[in-house]
Amino acid sequence: MNTLDDLLHARTGPMTSELVQRPGDFGLGQLPARLAPAGTAKSICGYCSTGCSLQIHLNAAGEAINLTPDPDHPVNLGMACPKGWESLAPLAAPDRCTTPLLRDATGVLQPVTWPEALAVFTDRLKAIQAQHGPGSVAVLSTGQIMTEEMALLGALTKFGMGIADLDSNTRQCMATSHVAYKQSYGFDAPPFTYADFEESDVLVFVGANPCIAHPIMWQRVMRNRRQPTLIVVDPRRTETAMAATLHLPAYPKSDLTLLYGLAREVIRRGAVDAAFVAAHTTGFAAFATFVEAFTPARVSAETGLSTADLDRAAAAICRPGARVSYWWTMGVNQSHQATRTAQALINLSLMAGQIGKPGTGANSITGQCNAMGSRLFGNATSLVGGYDFANAAHRTHVAGILGIDAALIPAQPSRAYDRILDAVETGEIRALWIIATNTAHSWINSGKFARLRDQLDFLVVQDMYATTETAQQADLVLPAAGWGEKQGVFINSERRLGYARKVARAPGLALSDFSIFKLVAEAWGCGPLFTRWSSPAAALQILKDLSRGQPCDFTGIRDHDHIEEQGGIQWPYPDSTFCRAGSPNPAAPEAGFGDPAVPPPDRERRLFADGQFPTPDGRARFLFDEPAPLPEPVDAAYPFLLNTGRGSSAQWHTGSRTDKSAVLRQLAPTVPWIEIHPTDATALGLSTGQTVAIRSRRGETTALAVVTPIVQPRQVFMPMHFPEVNRLTFPAYDPHSRQPAYKACAVSLASVNDSSA
Ligand SMILES: Nc1nc2c(c(=O)[nH]1)N[C@H]1C(S)=C(S)[C@@H](COP(=O)(O)OP(=O)(O)OC[C@H]3O[C@@H](n4cnc5c(=O)[nH]c(N)nc54)[C@H](O)[C@@H]3O)O[C@H]1N2
Ligand SMILES: Nc1nc2c(c(=O)[nH]1)N[C@H]1C(S)=C(S)[C@@H](COP(=O)(O)OP(=O)(O)OC[C@H]3O[C@@H](n4cnc5c(=O)[nH]c(N)nc54)[C@H](O)[C@@H]3O)O[C@H]1N2
Ligand code: SF4
Ligand SMILES: [Mo]
């Protein structure tokens, strides 16, 4: 099982026929004749956390030739954004990494065989561990591989290879939501379902630009027939803000003050749900006293918003009988007080009893396709399955399920990403294995990572492409299959497990991450620990066992096919409640599945309808702190505040996938740009299309000026899709989540005389 020969044969052998539905299942008449697919397969999109389902059109060999959005899926209802439509293009890119690559003595990456690559991998990493201790090797992973893969990686590295430090790009993205929910609700449990977009009377978006970053979620907002009030808190007048009833362009990172001021208004206007607060929460009295200081005058002075706008916002969220929902993304999570800001939104929803009912909730929108999977099963911050490393009973329980010695499980979580890099700087960590993330581009203050490269004795990068900024610096590159070339589960923003299918062959010698991890386990000598992890399908059964009894319990899911048949399945989905009700035999996990006597569960469900939270006392907590000043405020030398984020719906992060699509390349600029307010542009003598030099205390770069009132005066915005951006950013972190505060640093601007260009 799972030898290299097996894996390579499986990869090159015929596409499995179960992928292909009968041609008659597909509405052929609706398609242009040239597609004439032999059948279709469904697969969940591998970009953002919306989790749209795509119908992949297959040729007679079962290989993908095109796709259309799935009309039957409860998430996207037949829609997809440009990235989803273009999902197949990156697979065929000419720069796919098709063979392991090893840097030779002259510094050139040269093709090697898998056995050679695995031997170098284990020999080098074991030698480094032998010389400097097991903690001298660390891993940086991702929210963009399958749940089964990230769980196997977490188990392999921590329990098999003795690696204590395994973090991922989820730190850059969702760490704040994870910590905020865990502290407030007792578990990382986003309570909502996408139907809440349609069932809300007042939707408050804070630091979220779904028009660009989650376009299909935004389509769900547009389907709301309740004439909703849309409030958007964002220093920029984004596409989302333009569509709002009320745009609150609060000064960057003044959200905490604003939200405490709104909480004060909820109390003052008598909109507190006293019965809910008394029965289901703790800490409200102290919170109510705390927010008294956040008077409209103070909030107006510190946020730059008018008291009239504050009054409008307060009136909207306090409207009697209105269903109010709060939605946040990176404008909140990437802040120096991110966790408390997220909790300020949670507090607003708790105090008004706006949770567990249609159209309510304090709802974190996830970023990557499987950031939710990594939050539950990544084995970084929480022990795999949402347990605690520090809890001995949890370690024993997880060890029992995995059939390993509990002593193999470390008693503390991984160090956070920034602290892993700090440990590289001090020489404590000497080797990194980076999987499905492009650290050299996406990490904050990237100049530091560039300098650290020389401190590393060994850098392994596992990616679809050897051309990323990070892979170019590697000593060893392991070629990975991408979305569409392997199968497994993604968990979307509304806790829905979705199944992504294999519909294409990986090029050359590229292998799925799952297969690579299995090969590493064998080469390392810890393969027997992972015998049960024989395939993604087998791994899903292990994940089910890990989830049992947890708030995320999905033991009622049968297998991958069950997930697909149901149009995805939201957790919780315990076997006791749904599929196995009436099944007398808990020892036979398959018993009772599909029992016609058991009604199917609702396709959309939300959490906390009963007011019970998974804290020890069953109550949610009010958590708060004093607002603190910006880590790097503007001054005379650096008078502009730089904000960064998503530039267009056609660009994904560091561009390693989306840049490969000729269609997507036409939908957005391919060079860095910077949004500048007209007043500032005039003062600097700049007009749109001219080159501007941007300097921070960390680095400098140039970009094309886009003169626009989208940004406020003295604020500028750059899309994160160009590596230049993180040369500028200031390395500040939220103290609870250690998430980088990418969205506020001080820069200076100057017009570049480009008459020579
Ligand atoms: N097209 C596309 N879609 C994506 C992605 C992509 O790369 N491309 N990435 C995915 C991922 S991983 C993520 S995490 C999400 C991110 O999704 P979003 O968070 O919606 O996107 P961002 O543009 O990073 O940030 C959202 C907004 O926060 C605002 N903001 C900045 N500072 C503040 C502040 O202090 N307060 C407030 N209230 N707002 C502030 C910014 O002006 C910006 O408009 O998108 C996902 N979807
Ligand atoms: N300035 C600034 N910086 C930011 C942000 C910001 O708002 N501003 N946002 C941050 C956020 S929220 C995020 S999520 C990060 C994202 O930052 P990254 O994770 O660095 O960005 P990606 O381009 O998505 O990188 C994913 C890599 O995985 C590879 N890959 C894709 N699929 C697979 C697979 O199945 N297997 C393997 N092995 N490789 C695969 C891709 O080729 C790509 O190189 O950026 C962060 N950086
Ligand atoms: S909205 Fe997200 S999940 Fe849907 S098609 Fe676009 S990138 Fe894919
Ligand atoms: Mo993200």
CA of 129 to the centre of ligand 4 (A): 32
Task: Determine if ligand 3 sits within 6 Å of the CB of residue 48.
Answer: yes
Task: Determine if ligand 1 sits within 6 Å of the CB of residue 336.
Answer: no
The type of residue at 114 is: W
> How high is the pLDDT of residue 9?
53
CA of 44 to the centre of ligand 1 (A): 22
**DSSP symbol at 20:** P
> How high is the pLDDT of residue 33?
33
- C-alpha 62 chain-centroid distance: 30
The pLDDT of residue 586 is above 60? no
At 212-232, the pLDDT tens digits run 999 999 999 999 999 999 999
Q: Which CATH class is domain 176-365?
A: alpha beta
Domain edges within the chain = 4-92, 101-173+390-536, 176-365, 640-751
CA of 460 to the centre of ligand 3 (A): 30
The β-bridge partners of 674 are: 705
Task: Determine if ligand 2 sits within 6 Å of the CB of residue 465.
Answer: yes
CA of 437 to the centre of ligand 2 (A): 5
Task: Determine if ligand 1 sits within 6 Å of the CB of residue 48.
Answer: yes
CA of 652 to the centre of ligand 4 (A): 10
The residue among 600 and 574 whose pLDDT is bigger is 574
* 388: exposed, middle or buried (Cβ count in 10 Å: 0-12, 13-18, 19+): middle
> Ligand 1, closest atom to CA 81?
1
Q: What is the mean pLDDT of the chain?
A: 92
The H-or-E segment that residue 676 falls in is strand 673-676
Phi then psi for 144, rounded to 5 degrees?
A: -120, 15
Rounded mean pLDDT, 362-373: 98
Rounded mean pLDDT, 634-639: 98
At 709-755, the pLDDT tens digits run 999 999 999 999 999 999 999 999 999 999 999 999 999 999 997 54
Beta-carbon contacts of residue 400 (< 8 Å; ≥ 6 apart):
406
* The CATH fold of domain 640-751: Barwin-like endoglucanases (2.40.40)
Ligand 3, atom 5: closest residue by C-alpha:
84
At 330-357, the pLDDT tens digits run 999 999 999 999 999 999 999 999 999 9
Chain position carrying tokens 């989540």: 737
In the three-class reduction of DSSP (H, G, I as helix; E, B as strand; rest coil), residue 159 is classed as: helix
- Residue 15 has which token pair? 């596409």
> Ligand 2, closest atom to CA 435?
38
Between the two ends of the chain, the Cα-to-Cα distance in Å is 60
At 219-272, the pLDDT tens digits run 999 999 999 999 999 999 999 999 999 999 999 999 999 999 999 999 999 999
Task: Determine if ligand 2 sits within 6 Å of the CB of residue 512.
Answer: no
CA of 474 to the centre of ligand 3 (A): 30
> How high is the pLDDT of residue 753?
72
The pLDDT of residue 597 is above 60? no
Task: Determine if ligand 1 sits within 6 Å of the CB of residue 141.
Answer: no
CA of 155 to the centre of ligand 3 (A): 29
CA separation, residue 532 to residues 397, 536, 539 (Å): 17, 10, 7
CA of 148 to the centre of ligand 3 (A): 21
Pocket test for ligand 3, best of 50, 87, 217 (most atoms within 8 A of CB): 50
Q: Which of 45-54, 365-374, 429-438, 581-590 has the lowest mean pLDDT?
A: 581-590
Task: Determine if ligand 3 sits within 6 Å of the CB of residue 47.
Answer: yes
- Residue 123 has which token pair? 């020999």
> Ligand 3, closest atom to CA 81?
6
> How high is the pLDDT of residue 230?
98
> How high is the pLDDT of residue 54?
98
Beta-carbon contacts of residue 623 (< 8 Å; ≥ 6 apart):
183, 184, 283, 340, 343, 347
Task: Determine if ligand 2 sits within 6 Å of the CB of residue 644.
Answer: yes
Task: Determine if ligand 3 sits within 6 Å of the CB of residue 67.
Answer: no
The length of the chain is: 757
The pLDDT of residue 456 is above 90? yes
Task: Determine if ligand 1 sits within 6 Å of the CB of residue 743.
Answer: yes
> Ligand 3, closest atom to CA 50?
3
- Residue 573 has which token pair? 């989905």
> How high is the pLDDT of residue 605?
84
Task: Determine if ligand 3 sits within 6 Å of the CB of residue 84.
Answer: yes
> Ligand 2, closest atom to CA 144?
32
CA of 369 to the centre of ligand 4 (A): 9
Beta-carbon contacts of residue 702 (< 8 Å; ≥ 6 apart):
672, 691, 692, 693, 694, 724, 752
Pocket test for ligand 3, best of 56, 81, 86, 483 (most atoms within 8 A of CB): 81
Counting ligands in written order, the one closest to the CA of 368 is 1
pLDDT confidence tier of residue 12, bands split at 50, 70 and 90 = very low
Task: Determine if ligand 1 sits within 6 Å of the CB of residue 258.
Answer: no
Are 48 and 369 in contact by the 8 Å Cβ rule? The answer is: yes
> How high is the pLDDT of residue 436?
98
> How high is the pLDDT of residue 11?
52
DSSP 197-249: HHH-SEEEEES--HHHH-HHHHHHHHT--S--EEEEE-SS--HHHHT-SEEE-
Are 569 and 562 in contact by the 8 Å Cβ rule? The answer is: yes
Are 516 and 139 in contact by the 8 Å Cβ rule? The answer is: no
Phi then psi for 678, rounded to 5 degrees?
A: -55, -40
Are 464 and 745 in contact by the 8 Å Cβ rule? The answer is: no
Counting ligands in written order, the one closest to the CA of 47 is 3
> How high is the pLDDT of residue 690?
97
CA of 49 to the centre of ligand 4 (A): 9
Task: Determine if ligand 3 sits within 6 Å of the CB of residue 45.
Answer: yes
* This prediction's pTM: 0.94
At 285-301, the pLDDT tens digits run 999 999 999 999 999 99
Task: Determine if ligand 1 sits within 6 Å of the CB of residue 235.
Answer: yes
The span from the CA of 461 to the CA of 465, in Å, is 10
> How high is the pLDDT of residue 603?
74
Judge: domain 101-173+390-536, CATH 3.30.1360.120.
no
Pocket test for ligand 2, best of 49, 653, 730, 742 (most atoms within 8 A of CB): 653
Are 614 and 189 in contact by the 8 Å Cβ rule? The answer is: yes
Ligand 2, atom 19: closest residue by C-alpha:
437
CA of 602 to the centre of ligand 1 (A): 31
Task: Determine if ligand 2 sits within 6 Å of the CB of residue 370.
Answer: no
Rounded mean pLDDT, 681-708: 98
Task: Determine if ligand 2 sits within 6 Å of the CB of residue 145.
Answer: yes
> Ligand 3, closest atom to CA 216?
1
Pocket test for ligand 2, best of 169, 483, 503 (most atoms within 8 A of CB): 169
> Ligand 2, closest atom to CA 655?
23
Counting ligands in written order, the one closest to the CA of 664 is 1
> How high is the pLDDT of residue 259?
99
Q: Which CATH class is domain 4-92?
A: mainly beta
Ligand 2, atom 46: closest residue by C-alpha:
442
Ligand 3, atom 2: closest residue by C-alpha:
48
Task: Determine if ligand 2 sits within 6 Å of the CB of residue 209.
Answer: no
- Residue 449 has which token pair? 């990572």
CA of 655 to the centre of ligand 2 (A): 8
The pLDDT of residue 430 is above 70? yes
Counting ligands in written order, the one closest to the CA of 251 is 1
pLDDT confidence tier of residue 3, bands split at 50, 70 and 90 = low
Task: Determine if ligand 1 sits within 6 Å of the CB of residue 560.
Answer: no
Task: Determine if ligand 1 sits within 6 Å of the CB of residue 208.
Answer: yes
The pLDDT of residue 599 is above 60? no
Give the pairing type, strands 53-58 and 246-248.
Answer: unpaired
CA of 664 to the centre of ligand 3 (A): 13
At 17-66, the pLDDT tens digits run 333 332 322 222 233 333 334 699 999 999 999 999 999 999 998 899 99
Chain position carrying tokens 């905020």: 180
CA of 174 to the centre of ligand 4 (A): 7
> How high is the pLDDT of residue 706?
98
pLDDT confidence tier of residue 582, bands split at 50, 70 and 90 = very low
